[in-house]
Amino acid sequence: MQYRKMGNTGVEVSALGFGCMRLPVMEGQPDNCIDEARSIAMIRHAIDTGMNYIDTAYFYHHEASEPLVGKALQDGYREKVNLATKMPVFSVEKEEDFDFFLNNQLERLQTDHIDFYLLHALSLNTWKNKVLKFDLLSKMKKAREEGKIRFIGFSFHDNEEAFMEILNGFDEWDFCQIQMNYIDVENQATLRGMEAAAKKGLGVVIMEPLLGGKLANLSPQVKENLCSCRTPVEWAFDFLWNRPEVSVILSGMGSEEMVEQNLEYAGRSSIGMLDEKQLAMLDKTREVYQKMALVPCTGCAYCMPCPFGLDIPGIYEVYNQTVNDSREDTVKKYYAMDTLADACRKCRKCEGICPQHIESSTLMPVIHEKISKMKEEIEKA
Ligand code: SF4
Ligand code: SF4
């Protein structure tokens, strides 16, 4: 394992961190039925191999992730890792909610302190209407004084302007967690935001390094731009490890193979590992990807459940696969779904919470129309 500086905290973190939002679940069961034995074995194996950063959140796996992590870190494992979790800012309705959530999290995680504590998924809206309104920064500082947390950070989903406002709106940030990968250099916090955070001495934690798995499963037209000397996953990780600003990359690992593969990649990572030619190749890949990209859904499922029964990420998955699948396959997959996109009642419940700011109420009718047209044309032919 390779280790990197977590900003000015004095902590050295492993290049790879375990994101606990896509753990394996029991076959045919909902997201909160985590396969405990497999997940605990995977987490412990990663720790035994030198990984020292575990990331979870109050709502991951419908609140089942933190208790699972608490169990995985028994038997001496807690002492070997930096434990990160997040305050569900969007659920805070009054100042006291902060203490309720933090105390609950400590209990679920079976620990007396959280090393890296984040305000979850900040946007300009939650920054103003939750963090500042309920004085959550004072709450964070008090929790640090009491020894309940060690370092103060935020995770982020909005644009560059919002990122800069939040970054510069508090002098005691120790770290931040941003969405970054070789496609998103101009999206969300942007590379400029990442550089500004590192310059201020913050540790930078990367999430969505594979853009919700999309960079692992590239369409042939995109993949052919990448040299086959590395796998698409390796290219995506190496783009990030190459950067001096990056402290730790989180990967939401859902299988033993994924853990093994990612640990191997992390073991050979280093700052400056890519040359100009390789970076130009990734620039070209980004251009092709962006020309073909349809809906930037990462499959995080924050928007679920839809009150009208739509499998929102599932519909986007089928739609995005139209670049790879035959028209027949798209139509078959789409019409096999329990609820079609035209069932969307435009309630917009899914929109405010979507980290990618996807406007499902506008897109769903368009998607339904496009795929139903495909069906008509196939039937006519
Ligand atoms: S806007 Fe449409 S997709 Fe989104 S929650 Fe409402 S009905 Fe579901
Ligand atoms: S639509 Fe948005 S919230 Fe829903 S799964 Fe996709 S990225 Fe996540």
Cα of 288 vs its chain's centroid, Å: 23
Give the number of the ligand closest to the Cα of residue 305.
1
Give the number of the ligand closest to the Cα of residue 299.
2
pLDDT of residue 217: 86
Q: Is the CB of 358 under 6 A from ligand 2?
A: yes
Pocket probe for ligand 2: among 358, 359, 360, 364, the residue whose CB has the most ligand atoms within 8 Å is 358
Pocket probe for ligand 1: among 302, 337, 346, 358, the residue whose CB has the most ligand atoms within 8 Å is 346
Give the number of the ligand closest to the Cα of residue 313.
2
User: What separation in Å is there between the alpha carbon of 355 and the centre of ligand 2?
Assistant: 7
pLDDT band at 63 (very low <50, low <70, confident <90, very high): very high
DSSP 101-133: HHHHHHHHTT-S-EEEEEEEEE-HHHIIIIIIT
- Of the candidates 42, 46, 56, the one whose C-alpha atom is nearest the C-alpha of residue 16 is 46
Q: Is the CB of 310 under 6 A from ligand 2?
A: no
Instruction: Tell the residue nearest (CA) to atom 8 of ligand 2.
Output: 300
Distance CA 69, CA 36 (A): 10
SS3 209: coil
- Per-residue pLDDT tens for 266-286? 999 999 999 999 999 999 999
pLDDT of residue 219: 83
User: What separation in Å is there between the alpha carbon of 350 and the centre of ligand 2?
Assistant: 8
Distance CA 97, CA 339 (A): 36
Q: Is the CB of 176 under 6 A from ligand 2?
A: no
User: What separation in Å is there between the alpha carbon of 359 and the centre of ligand 2?
Assistant: 10
- Per-residue pLDDT tens for 215-261? 998 888 899 999 999 999 999 999 999 999 999 999 999 999 999 99
Q: pTM for the full model?
A: 0.87
Residue 213, phi-psi category: left (phi > 0), alpha (psi -120 to 50), beta (remainder): left
- Per-residue pLDDT tens for 112-158? 999 999 999 999 999 999 999 999 999 999 999 999 999 999 999 99
- Of the candidates 113, 289, 111, the one whose C-alpha atom is nearest the C-alpha of residue 186 is 289
Residue 145 · residue 151 · CB < 8 Å: no
Provide residues with CB under 6 Å of ligand 1. Answer: 306-308, 310, 312, 344-350, 360-361, 364
Q: Is the CB of 367 under 6 A from ligand 2?
A: no
pLDDT of residue 321: 83
- Per-residue pLDDT tens for 332-380? 999 999 999 999 999 999 998 999 899 999 999 999 999 999 999 999 9
User: What separation in Å is there between the alpha carbon of 313 and the centre of ligand 2?
Assistant: 6
pLDDT of residue 90: 93
Instruction: Tell the residue nearest (CA) to atom 3 of ligand 1.
Output: 344
Pocket probe for ligand 1: among 302, 303, 306, the residue whose CB has the most ligand atoms within 8 Å is 306
Pocket probe for ligand 1: among 311, 338, 340, 345, the residue whose CB has the most ligand atoms within 8 Å is 345
Give the number of the ligand closest to the Cα of residue 348.
1
